[in-house]
Amino acid sequence: MSEGDGGEPSVAEPPGRADGPAADPGARTGGDGPRMRGPRRAAALAAVLLFAGVAAVLGLTTPWNPLPGHVPGGSVQADPSLDFTPHEIARAKAFDGAINPPAYSGLLVGLAVILVLGFTPLGSRFIGWTTARVRRRPLRVIAAAVALTTLLRVIGLPFDIWSEAVLRHYGLSTQGWSAWAVDQLKSLGVTWVMYTVALLLLYAIVRRFPRYWWTGAAAGGFVLVVAVSFIYPIAVEPVFNKFHSLPAGQLRTDLLAMAKRDGVPVKDVLVADASRRTTSLNAYVSGFGSTRRIVLYDTLLKSPRPQIESIVGHELGHAKRDDVLWGTLVGALGVAGGLCLLYLLTTSPRLLRRAGVDPHVPAARDARSTGPADPRSIALVLALVAAGTQLAAPVQNLVSRRIEARADAHALDLTRDPKTFVAMQHELSVRNIDDPDPNWAEYLLWMTHPSGPDRIAMARTWSKMHHAPIPPPLH
């Protein structure tokens, strides 16, 4: 039993085989062997081309200036003191100071655990222990995925409880602990399904095409991302919320008329029962094609009608630009490139040995699972995915903030009511207790939307550009 086996008995091991090279030098070879150099070069080239394509698309299509054109006297600069009282600013800062410790601690601990599991033999040993009695390969992949994701969720649970306690203290959470626990179990169940499906497909491709699996993985990853984005509104969102059509009445009539005037085909506006877990205000667009939906939190329906129309105008901006579809396609390209890079890393003998996995790569399908085909490499795969996701987050957040700003500009163009827009952004910030002056780390790690003062400043800049009355300070 070689080092890193984690107690797992060998499968169809030939008699007398040592841990050195295989008896048939052409049957199996390490990632640096001559049989792997061509596929690795091809995968590296594909990764470079895909990432370059993503960078080019983002560079050319991201609305870096959501309000193009001349601004008489220059753009208005964000100033929280103009619209937020000292009490509102102090409360937001206090909340930020309370919610940041569990958020940052949970992030750091979660990353540290998965990286340790992935880049040391601990992960392969853990998987070997949890799958020791499982013989069928697909079931071993499922068991490993469930075991690892459950372990990570359990490790993160104290920080989730800490965060929930802070939300309760500040009145943002309306859930009882039992309902919160049910939501956590639902979230874990969704995680199990998504990870097991993705990993089953990945390891099936790895075993079927041991030298060129990056081609099938990249194509499959692209398709899977698009499929998940399409079905998410009808398969996942209902797990956490109940939805109903906005009741017939003047508000529904006005919102659908606004969508028609904007040239956006909207058959329905849905309301989510968000008030059973939060007091925050929100609305969103998800899906595309026949699954596209505009959803309002039921907490938002108590706001004045002009403010609701301003929010819906923002969401119509996303729908008109097909932001969800476009983001899905760009993200799918990024995932395809990431899978090519994953191929390069998981066929590295040095990295596989560090992870406690036999680095030999089968030249063809056989009874053995070694190299990337070994289910014990799942810890390494998840660690690489976690690292890549975290590295990509600042870029994703930056692009997201620009897209959200463009949707704000669309709402202003559609409603021609910057005063109501300013009032709505103030209410959103106060009700959600958003930090009016986030620091650089929050921008990099968390912020997918501009800050409230930034959005208010945009409305005043829009007013100057269109020679409209500039909304006065609220306080």
Phi and psi of 367, rounded to 5°? -80, -10
Two tokens, residue 291: 């699954």
- Residue 408 is among the residues annotated as catalytic for this protein: yes
Given a contact cutoff of 8 angstroms between Cβ atoms, the answer to whether 393 and 300 are in contact is: no
Two structure tokens written together for 215: 């081609």
Q: Is 426 annotated as a binding residue?
A: no
Among 192, 193, 188, smallest CA distance to 155 is for: 188
What are the angstrom distances between the C-alpha of 243 and each of 92, 187, 198? Answer: 30, 18, 28
End-to-end CA distance of the chain: 72
457: its two tokens = 């400043």
- Give yes or no for a contact between 146 and 196, defined as CB atoms under 8 angstroms apart: yes
Residue 410 labeled ligand binder: no
User: For residue 433, is it left (φ>0), alpha (ψ between -120 and 50) or beta?
Assistant: left
Chain center to CA of 143: 24
Which sign, positive or negative, has the C-alpha torsion 448, 454, 458, 459?
Answer: positive
Residues 6+ apart with CB under 8 A from 4: 121, 124, 125, 353, 355, 356, 357, 358, 376
Q: Rounded distance, CA 406 to CA 327, Å?
A: 14
Catalytic residue among 315, 323, 358, 417: 315
Question: Which residue reads 């996701």 in tokens?
Answer: 389
Inter-residue contact 361 to 25 (CB < 8 Å)? no
Burial of 456 (0-12, 13-18, 19+ CB in 10 A): buried
Distance CA 444, CA 393 (A): 7
* Residue 13 annotated in active site: no
Q: 429, exposed or middle or buried, with CB in 10 Å at 0-12, 13-18, 19+? A: buried
Count Cβ atoms below 10 Å from residue 191 Cβ, excluding itself: 16
Degrees (nearest 5) of the Cα angle 423, 174, 194? 95
Q: Annotation-wise, does 87 bind a ligand?
A: no
Contacts 24+ apart (CB under 8 A), 101-104: 101/162, 102/159, 102/160, 102/162, 102/163, 102/166, 103/159, 103/163, 103/446
Residue tagged active-site, from 83, 309, 358, 408: 408
Residues with Cβ within 8 Å of 377's Cβ and at least 6 positions away in sequence, in order, are 124, 346, 352, 355, 357, 371
Binding site for Zn(2+): residue ranges? 314, 318, 404
Residues identified as active-site: 315, 408
Positions at the binding site: 314, 318, 404
